[in-house]
Amino acid sequence: MQLHGLELTWLGHAATRIRMDDGTTIHIDPWLQGNPSCPDDEHTQDRSDAVFVTHGHFDHLSGTPDLARRHGARLHAIHEIAVWAEGIGIEDAVGSNKGGTVETIAGIEATLVDAVHSSGITGDDGIVPGGEAGGWVLAFPGGPTIYHAGDTAVFGDMALIGELWKPDIALL
């Protein structure tokens, strides 16, 4: 779907691909393999420049290592997930805390915002802490602002996200 100069593709569950006019490609919560809603021809991606993860559950995080390693995609996640990612060999992992805005690839301004959910990472030794769950507000240069809520219950500060960032598109 083309919206505001971006190509948005839903890849099942919370997985989303956003492609800019210049080809820059980002993924949010890339659960691709084993996702029954992900089209078969989308299980492998041909490009990824950045990955934004909302929390540590497999159905949001599991495609991240492949995209980061195969394409050199920069990972953006809460601090604990970024540290975990570095521990498994992901070289470009940027840890954030809620409320801070960072400028990332292609001039995109990314802000980690609140969500109400859990965030443990399932590994070989059981579940490890994945920090707090979050959502992402992505402001594209000269283009729209997108809010991706990740997994969350409804909470009052969703209205504040609307007031502060005025997203043009909300992925809920």
Per-residue pLDDT, 123 = 82
The amino acid sitting at 160 is L
Among 15, 57, 7, 62, smallest CA distance to 37 is for: 15
In this model, does residue 90 exceed pLDDT 90?
A: yes
Cα–Cα dist 115/69, whole Å: 28
Cα–Cα dist 58/53, whole Å: 11
Per-residue pLDDT tens for 100-123? 899 999 999 999 999 999 999 998
Per-residue pLDDT, 4 = 82
Interacting residues of 42 by C-beta distance below 8 A, sequence separation 6+: 9, 11, 17, 32
Let me know how long the chain is: 172
Q: Domains in the chain, start-ordered, CATH in brackets?
A: 2-167 (3.60.15.10)
Specify the higher pLDDT residue, 21 or 3. Answer: 21
Average pLDDT over residues 43-65: 97
Cα–Cα dist 55/45, whole Å: 21
Per-residue pLDDT, 159 = 98
Per-residue pLDDT tens for 128-161? 899 999 999 999 999 899 999 999 999 999 999 9
Identify the bridge partners of residue 170 per DSSP, sorted by sequence position.
Answer: 147
- pTM for this prediction: 0.96
Per-residue pLDDT, 151 = 94
Among 6, 11, 10, smallest CA distance to 108 is for: 6
